[in-house]
A and B are shown apart, each in its own frame.
Chain A
Amino acid sequence: MTSPSGHVRLINRPLARRRFLALAGCGLVGSMMVRLDREARGIEPTSTRRFILYNHCNGLQNHHLEQSTVDGPSTFTLRSFMEAFVPHQSALTVVQNLYCSTGRYLHGNGSCALACADRGPPDGAAGISPKVVGGVTIDQLIATALQEQDPDVKLRTLVLGHPLTISNGNCVQGTIIGTGDNEPLYPILDAEEAHQTIFGVTNQDEVLRDLQKSYLDFVKDDIQAFEAELPGQERQKMQQYLDSVREVEKSFTNLANCDEIPAQSFEHQTHNFPEYWRYMQDLAVIALSCGATRQATMLHTYGCVHFNYTFDGETKNHHERVSHEEENGPFMEKILRFHADQVVYLYERLAEIPEGDGTMADGLLIQWMSDGGGRHHNGADRHPVVFLGAAGGAMNTGQWLRFSNDEYSLACAHVTAARAMGLELDTFGDGQDPCNGPLPGALA
C-alpha cells in the first residue's frame, strides 16, 4: 500500500513529471522522435535488422564474468558458462561495470535497468514501487523504430515469458517491460497463446474472418465515439485502447509464407521446464524469420527470481537457495550456462536461415542482460551486458570492454543497441543515469 501521507511524493511528483518530459526524447515519447539512419551511418542497408532482448532476473552479473580471462579488449578467453559463445567469439561484444542508479531499489528493479527510468520509491511493506515501469524499455523503443522501418510486420514486438514457479509478495508485478511511464507490457506466458499470436487463426473460414473484421471495426468506431464524449485528460485511455485493438487485430491475421510449427501446451508449474522455454525460443525464431516481427523479448522470470531450476536431478529455488546462499557457486553456473546456451541457440537458429547474400544472423543483435545487475541485494547497480551479433556491421564485435566504475551508465549500453539498430539516439532513460552516446569502442 502506498503511504497515506504522501508527504514527499506529492511534492516530488510534479517535479518528477516535468523532469521526465524534459527528457522525453529518450523516454516516454522517444519512440516518436527517433529516426532511422542506417544509410547516414554507412551501415549495410540490405541487412535486415532484428533485435532480441534476453533477460533473466538475477542472472548475468558482473562477478560471474570474472571467470573468463581478459587480457585486452580484443584478447580474451571464454570460460565456464560462456563456453557456448566460443564458436561465435567474433560476433561477441561483452561489456562490464555499467552503473545504473535507477536499479538501486531492492525489489523489482528490473524495469529500471531496462528503462533506465526511475519507477519512484518503493512503497508498502514489500518495498515495491507503485509503478510497474518507469519508462519505455529499450526493447520497446527499438521495436517501435523497427516497425516504422517495416510497417508491414504483423507484430510490433513479441514478448515471451516464462512463468514463475514460486511467487510471493515481491513478485506480483508480472512484467518489467514497458512502452512508457507506467505503461507496462505483459509477456505472453502461454505457449498456445504465443503460437496463435504469431500465426493467427489459421483454420478460420472466410465468413467468420469477415465477421470478426466487422466486429472489430465496430469496436474501433465505438472507442472513437466514446473517446469524443470524454474530457481531454481521459481521452488517452481510449487512445491506448484503440491502439491496442488495432495491434490485436493485426495479430489475428494469418501469417503467409511461413512454416508453421504445431501448437503445444505446457504445464507451467513444473519445475525447470526447458522444453517450454525451447519451444518459446523456436516461436521467436520463426516470428523473426517469417517477418511476423523484427523484435522479440525473451523474459525469463520477469523481474523476480523466485524460480525453481532443476539440473542433474537437483532442484533449487533461485532466490532462496542460490542468490542468498551460493550466488557464485556451481548451481549458479548451471543456471548461467542454461541461459547462455539459449542465447547462442537463438543466434545459431537465425544463422541457419539464408537471407540475401548471408544469413538472418547478419543483421541480428541479441542483448543478454539481467535486471539483477551486480549482486543480489548488493551492488545491483553494476551491470554487464553481453551483445551477440554484428547488427549488419554496426557493432564492433570480438570485444570485451571493461569500464571503470562510474565511467559509463547502463543507458549507454542501451543507446549502443539502439544505434546498432539504426536509431539516432544519444541518450536513454530519465536522465538519472546520464549518457551522451554509445559506449566507446562498441560500435564500428
Chain B
Amino acid sequence: MSCASCRVLGHGVAIAVAIGSSGCYVGLNEHDASPDGAGVGGSGDVEDPEGEGPGVESECEGVPRMSRVVRGLNGRQYARTVAAAFPGISAVDQLFRDSDRSAEFSTHSQIRRLDFKNTADVIEAAETVSAEAVGVVRQRFVCLDAAPVDDACVQDTIDTLTEELYRGPVPADHRQGLVALFDQARAATDVDRAIQTVVQAMLTSPRFLFRQELGEPLDDGTGAELSSFEVASALSYTLTDGPPDAPLWAAAQEDALRSPEQIEAHARRLLAMQGDEPSGMVAFVREMAGLQDFALISKDPEAFPAFDETTRDAVLADFEATVGSLLGSDEPTLERLLLSRQFVVSPPTAQLLGWDDPQQYDPDAGLVEIDEVGRQGLLTHPALLGTYAHESENNPVARGHFVSDTLLCIAVPPPPDDVSFPDLEEVQGNETLRQTLERVHSVGTCAGCHSVMDPYGWPFEVFDAVGRRRDTDNGLPIDDSSTILVPDEFEGPVQDVSEMLDIIAGSSIAHVCVSQEIFKYVVGVGDEQEGYSCITEELATPFVEDGDVPSQFVRLLTSPWFLERSIEP
C-alpha cells in the first residue's frame, strides 16, 4: 500500500489521497462549486441588510444553496408528532415502515417515496390512529360534546389540530375543506365518525407527512430563508425527532427564530433537555453506525444461544443509552465516543458478553466503567460488532470497511466484474479466519482493495460475531495486530484494537468524515448536492478543532446551508 499523492486543502485538514496501485480512493471530493454565482455568501450579496438573516460568511463562493424544500417524516418522527397531538395514544412507531430503507439516513430528503405499498400503509396507519384519537380529541375539545356541535368549535378544533400536526400556519382553504368534510361526515353518521374522518385526512395530508421548507424570499432575490415556523420544525425534528415544543412554538409565533443567536439558543436548550427518549443525535449515531435494521438481525442459535430477541433489543437500547449519555455529558466529543470505556449496560448484554454477575448491571444507573481489554468506544460495542458480522462467523472485512469508509473516507470500489467468491468452508484449513482471508485476499484482483480495508478489521478479531471478547479462533491464538493508514497522519503498525482506535479517534480525517455524515443527516442531502465538498470541508474545520458533536450540530443548524434555499420555479 502506498500513498501516491496527498493533498492538503485550505483548512489544514488533509483530506484526499489516492492509493494508486489499488484502484481504491481515499478522501473527499474535488471542489465542485457552481460557476453561476447564485450561491451562499459568494460576494456578500446574500447578507440580510438588517443583519437579522442567517447570512454567515462562507468561502464556498458560488456554491448554490440547498434546493430541496420538502422532507418526509420518518417513522420515528411520524410517531412522535402523532403522540404530541394526541397524548396517551398507543405506540404508533411500527404502523408503517420507512420506504427506501437503503437510503443513507432516514432524514434524507428523498425518503418517503409514497408508492402503492407505502401509501396503503400510510392510509391504514391514519385509519388506526384516527380511530383511537377520537377520545383524545373529545377530551381536549370539550365543546365537541355539545349537541348540536357549534360550528366555531369545529373550526377551532380543526385549526388547532392542523397547526399542531402540520407545524405551522395552514392555508384557509385547506382548513375550510376539513370543516366541510367534518360536516359531511357528521350529517351522514355522528360526531365521533366526523372527528375520525378529519383526523384521518390530516394524517394523510402531505402537509403532515412532509416537512415543508419553502422559505421566504431574500431581499436580493437570490434565494429564500426559512421562516421561523420552518426553522422551529427543522430544529426540532433534527434534534428531538419530534415536533416543536412549547418554547420553540412560541418563538416561531413571535417570529423570533431569525438570527443565528436566537436559533442557537433554542438548539442548545433542546440539546440540554434530552430525556429518556433517544434524541436526534442518538438517531444520527445509530444510523451512521448502520444499525437501522439491528432489530432484524439474528445469529446462529447453536453458536450464540444467548442472542435472542430480548438480548438483541437490550443491546440496541444499551447502545443508544451509551451514546445519549456520552453526548449528554460535559465532554460530548467524537474522541470520547470512540475511546470511552464507559458504557450503559443491561443484564442481557452483560450475559451475552459473558461478564461476571450480569444482574449487577443496571441500565438506569447510567454509564459504568468497563474494565475489559480492548473494550473501548462504540466500535467495540456488541451492537456494532454484531452488525458487522455473519450469523455465526466474524466478518473482519465488513468491520474494516466500516472503519475505512465511515471514519476515514476511504471509498473502496465494488468488486470487479469477474471476481470469484470462494466458499469459506472450502478454503479454510487449520488456521484462523484472519489467516484464511489474508491468504485468499492477497492474490489476484482481491488484493488491491482488501489490502486497504481489511487491516482495519483485523484488530477487532478479538471480538466474536456477537461482540464477546475471545482469545482464540478455530483453536488458534488470535493475532490482533495490524498495519494501518490514517491518511496524512499515520502509517504503521498497531499492536491491538486500543492502539488503532487511539490513532483514529485523534485524527483529523475522522472528524472531517463524521462532520460530513452530520451534514448529510441534518441537511438531508448527500454528495449529490452541488458544492458538497466545499461546504463540508468548511463546516468540518471547527469540528477538527474541538470534536464537540452537539456543537457541530449547532454550527450546521445555524449555517445558511441549513437555513437558506435556492429559488426555483
Tell me if A84 is interfacial: C-beta within 8 Å of chain B: no
CB-CB under 8 A for A185 and B411, given A234-B69, A248-B120, A325-B425: no
Of A30-38, A210-218, A283-291, A332-340, the stretch lying at the interface with chain B is A210-218
Inter-chain contact B423/A10, CB cutoff 8 Å: no
From residue B423, how far is it (CB to closest CB) to chain A in Å? 5
Tell me if A22 is interfacial: C-beta within 8 Å of chain B: no
1/0 per residue, CB under 8 A from B, across A194-235: the answer is 000100000000011011001100110111011101111110
| Docked complex: B111-130 residues within 8 A CB-CB of A | 112-120, 123
Tell me if B405 is interfacial: C-beta within 8 Å of chain A: yes
The 8 Å CB contact of B119, one of A106, A225, A232, A244, is A244
From residue A155, how far is it (CB to closest CB) to chain B in Å? 9
Of A57-65, A176-184, A394-402, the stretch lying at the interface with chain B is A176-184
1/0 per residue, CB under 8 A from A, across B523-544: the answer is 0001110001100100000000
Inter-chain contact A320/B300, CB cutoff 8 Å: yes
Q: How far is the CA of A225 from the CA of B520 in the complex (A)?
A: 30
Closest 3 A/B residue pairs (Cβ): A6-B527, A244-B119, A377-B421
| Docked complex: A114-133 residues within 8 A CB-CB of B | 121-132
Inter-chain contact A124/B119, CB cutoff 8 Å: no
Tell me if B157 is interfacial: C-beta within 8 Å of chain A: no
**B119, B188, B569 interface centre (most CB from chain A within 10 Å):** B119
Inter-chain contact A231/B411, CB cutoff 8 Å: no
Q: Tell me which residues across on chain B come within 8 A of A126, comparing CB atoms.
A: 290, 388, 398
From residue B183, how far is it (CB to closest CB) to chain A in Å? 11
Q: How far is the CA of A193 from the CA of B124 in the complex (A)?
A: 10
**B16, B72, B388, B401 interface centre (most CB from chain A within 10 Å):** B401
Q: Tell me which residues across on chain A come within 8 A of B181, comparing CB atoms.
A: 214-215, 218
From residue B113, how far is it (CB to closest CB) to chain A in Å? 6
Q: Tell me which residues across on chain B come within 8 A of A232, comparing CB atoms.
A: 568-569
Inter-chain contact A179/B115, CB cutoff 8 Å: yes
CB-CB under 8 A for A185 and B568, given A125-B398, A166-B298, A207-B188: no
1/0 per residue, CB under 8 A from B, across A5-39: the answer is 11111100100000000000000000000000000
Q: Tell me which residues across on chain B come within 8 A of A121, comparing CB atoms.
A: 413-414
The 8 Å CB contact of B174, one of A188, A222, A247, is A222
**A4, A193, A226 interface centre (most CB from chain B within 10 Å):** A4
Inter-chain contact B188/A10, CB cutoff 8 Å: no
Nearest chain-B residue to A122 (Cβ)? B414
Nearest chain-B residue to A174 (Cβ)? B101
Tell me if B265 is interfacial: C-beta within 8 Å of chain A: no
The 8 Å CB contact of A185, one of B115, B171, B184, B417, is B115
CB-CB under 8 A for A238 and B206, given A172-B101, A184-B115: yes
Inter-chain contact A172/B292, CB cutoff 8 Å: yes
Inter-chain contact A234/B387, CB cutoff 8 Å: no
19 more CB-based (< 8 A) A-B contacts, given A3-B412, A230-B214, A245-B204:
A1-B290, A1-B406, A2-B526, A3-B405, A4-B512, A4-B536, A5-B28, A5-B409, A5-B411, A5-B527, A6-B532, A7-B29, A122-B414, A127-B414, A130-B102, A167-B297, A219-B205, A222-B177, A240-B114
Inter-chain contact A1/B288, CB cutoff 8 Å: yes
CB-CB under 8 A for A5 and B210, given A232-B569, A247-B119: no
Size range of the chain A interface in the assembly: 35 or more
Number of interface residues of B (CB under 8 A): 103
Tell me if B266 is interfacial: C-beta within 8 Å of chain A: no
Q: How far is the CA of A372 from the CA of B409 in the complex (A)?
A: 31
Inter-chain contact B423/A377, CB cutoff 8 Å: yes
| Docked complex: A130-161 residues within 8 A CB-CB of B | 130-132, 159
From residue A27, how far is it (CB to closest CB) to chain B in Å? 17
From residue A176, how far is it (CB to closest CB) to chain B in Å? 12
Tell me if B36 is interfacial: C-beta within 8 Å of chain A: no
Q: Tell me which residues across on chain B come within 8 A of A230, comparing CB atoms.
A: 69-70, 214
From residue A159, how far is it (CB to closest CB) to chain B in Å? 8
Tell me if B192 is interfacial: C-beta within 8 Å of chain A: no
Q: Tell me which residues across on chain B come within 8 A of A223, comparing CB atoms.
A: 206
Of B47-55, B193-201, B242-250, B488-496, the stretch lying at the interface with chain A is B193-201
Inter-chain contact A237/B113, CB cutoff 8 Å: yes
Nearest chain-A residue to B513 (Cβ)? A4
Nearest chain-A residue to B519 (Cβ)? A4
The 8 Å CB contact of B115, one of A4, A9, A125, A240, is A240
Inter-chain contact B527/A9, CB cutoff 8 Å: yes
From residue A408, how far is it (CB to closest CB) to chain B in Å? 18
The 8 Å CB contact of A233, one of B398, B402, B568, is B568
1/0 per residue, CB under 8 A from A, across B395-412: the answer is 101110110011001111
Inter-chain contact A218/B119, CB cutoff 8 Å: no
Q: How far is the CA of A132 from the CA of B108 in the complex (A)?
A: 15
**B101, B102, B287 interface centre (most CB from chain A within 10 Å):** B102
Q: Tell me which residues across on chain B come within 8 A of A320, comparing CB atoms.
A: 300, 391-392
Inter-chain contact A125/B421, CB cutoff 8 Å: no
